[in-house]
Amino acid sequence: MPTMDLVPASPDDYRRRAERRLPRFLFDYVDGGAYDEATLARNVADFRQIALRQTVMRDVSRVDTSAKLLGLHASMPVALAPVGMGGMLARRGEAQAKRAADAAGVPFTLSTVSICSLEEIAAVSSAPFWFQLYMLRDRAIVREMLERAWSVGVRTLVFTVDLAVIGARYRDVRNGIAGGTNALGRLRSGLLSYVSHPAWLVDVAIKGKPHGFGNLAAYVPNAKNPAEFRAWVESQFDASVTWADIEWLRGIWRGALVIKGVLSPEDALLAVKAGADGVIVSNHGGRQLDGVASSISVTPRVAQAVGDRAAIFMDGGVRSGLDVVRALALGANGVLIGRPWAYAIAAGGEAALKKMMQTFQKEQHVAMALCGVDCVDKIDAAILDHASSGPYAIMRAASCAGDPRPNVIE
């Protein structure tokens, strides 16, 4: 007797649906991390060690989950992170995600290696969105992409700095996407995966074309699909990039500049010195250097070092509105979520992502109310239960920092 397909309530539920609906190589691409995936697991596990301090008998009849992120109003301090190849997870997946983000009242961040182009996303609505870019070897392309982003209304640039080299993702090797088998083996594996997922095959593979990287099509005109873009993209990653290049970038980008991939107070301070308006504490979702600290464990020290000189964001391991509150209590001004929105869009498209974002906001509301705070700028380390969390590094960092959260959310 078949089991009932339960209504999804959490990112884990959407993850299970996404696993059933996606070809193996695509699910592994989204779900996997580098090497043994220790950091990937740590990102999630470390949030679970942070206990909230329940406080009752406060007037929480008007809890406000909203915040200003880099000057823009958001319904909650959450943005959708850049996810490469999002348009392979659902038909024109990034466009669906942009509509869902608009409905939720939060920023959407378009990846450089998205299927949908800047122009296609801008056509979804007039609501502003963020754009993520790498430092490519060809600086002329960087300049041109910045001009394209500005021309379609992008005013916040998320610049990724932790891809000087690419971490080895063993799942990608095992399923052949990273060249783990010969060409014939990859073809057979791909065909088998496609035909065993007929709904995806029809809706995305056939009806969702074109499948090239929309932002890069003009620079790699002979490439027709993501696999054919891969070699060019990897050849463009520049291992010689230093903070001087970020200063150059600051000189040509007129909008807000957020540096993504900072994992130490020292690098955060260098980012600010180079002209960053914000930093994202991130280990690339555990997809680059395995064995490093979780993003949330580093966040208090970065916030303490940077103070009010820049906005502090973090990503990696956020799976609920409770985690959003935990991150803010430890010094973040906001969080970015990647895998959760990727799971949801793969599981049920725009409608599923809208529902998941509603759940995030409700969870944040409940956590704030039962911790005795009614607005985001009152969330600080005082709402954490240090005694119940045990002798854990995150809690020690928060204790040493006092209230580490800089007052840059307006």
Annotated domain spans of the chain? 11-169+235-400
Residue 339 confidence (pLDDT) above 80: yes
The closest alpha carbon to 193, from 340, 20, 346, belongs to 20
The helix/strand/coil state of 375 is: strand
Q: Say if residues 277 and 70 touch (Cβ distance below 8 Å).
A: yes
Range with the lowest mean pLDDT among 112-116, 185-189, 266-270, 341-345?
A: 185-189
Q: What is the band of 108 on the pLDDT scale with cuts at 50, 70, 90? A: very high
Instruction: Please name the CATH architecture into which domain 11-169+235-400 falls.
Output: Alpha-Beta Barrel (3.20)
Report the pLDDT value the prediction gives residue 187, as an integer from 0 to 100: 46
Please list, in sequence order, all residues whose beta carbon lies within 8 angstroms of the beta carbon of residue 375, skipping any fewer than 6 positions away: 63, 64, 368
State the Cα–Cα distance between residues 366 and 18, nearest whole angstrom. Answer: 27
Each residue's pLDDT tens digit, 80-94? 999 999 999 999 999
Q: What is the band of 399 on the pLDDT scale with cuts at 50, 70, 90? A: low
State the Cα–Cα distance between residues 282 and 49, nearest whole angstrom. Answer: 19
Determine the average pLDDT of the residues in 40-61. Answer: 96
Q: What is the band of 287 on the pLDDT scale with cuts at 50, 70, 90? A: very high
Tell me the HSE value of 33 on the side-chain side, using a 13 A CA sphere.
23
Q: What is the band of 131 on the pLDDT scale with cuts at 50, 70, 90? A: very high
Determine the average pLDDT of the residues in 364-377. Answer: 98
Tell me the HSE value of 56 on the side-chain side, using a 13 A CA sphere.
0
Report the pLDDT value the prediction gives residue 401, as an integer from 0 to 100: 52
Please pick, among 73, 197, 211, 284, the residue that the annotation labels catalytic: 284
Report the pLDDT value the prediction gives residue 230, as an integer from 0 to 100: 73
Residue 396 confidence (pLDDT) above 80: no
Residue 195 confidence (pLDDT) above 90: no
Tokens representing residue 189 in the block: 């594996």
Each residue's pLDDT tens digit, 258-269? 999 999 999 999
365 carries an active-site annotation:
no
Each residue's pLDDT tens digit, 297-323? 999 999 999 999 999 999 999 999 999
State the Cα–Cα distance between residues 318 and 341, nearest whole angstrom. Answer: 11
State the Cα–Cα distance between residues 153 and 18, nearest whole angstrom. Answer: 32
Residue 223 confidence (pLDDT) above 90: no
Range with the lowest mean pLDDT among 219-233, 274-288, 332-346?
A: 219-233
Rounded to the nearest integer, the mean pLDDT of the chain is 90
Range with the lowest mean pLDDT among 6-10, 78-82, 102-106, 376-380?
A: 6-10
Check residues 289 and 398 and name the one with the higher pLDDT. 289
Q: What is the band of 235 on the pLDDT scale with cuts at 50, 70, 90? A: confident
Tell me the H-state helices in 219-331: 226-236, 243-252, 265-273, 295-306, 321-329
Residue 398 confidence (pLDDT) above 70: no
Q: Which residue has the tokens 């409940």?
A: 366
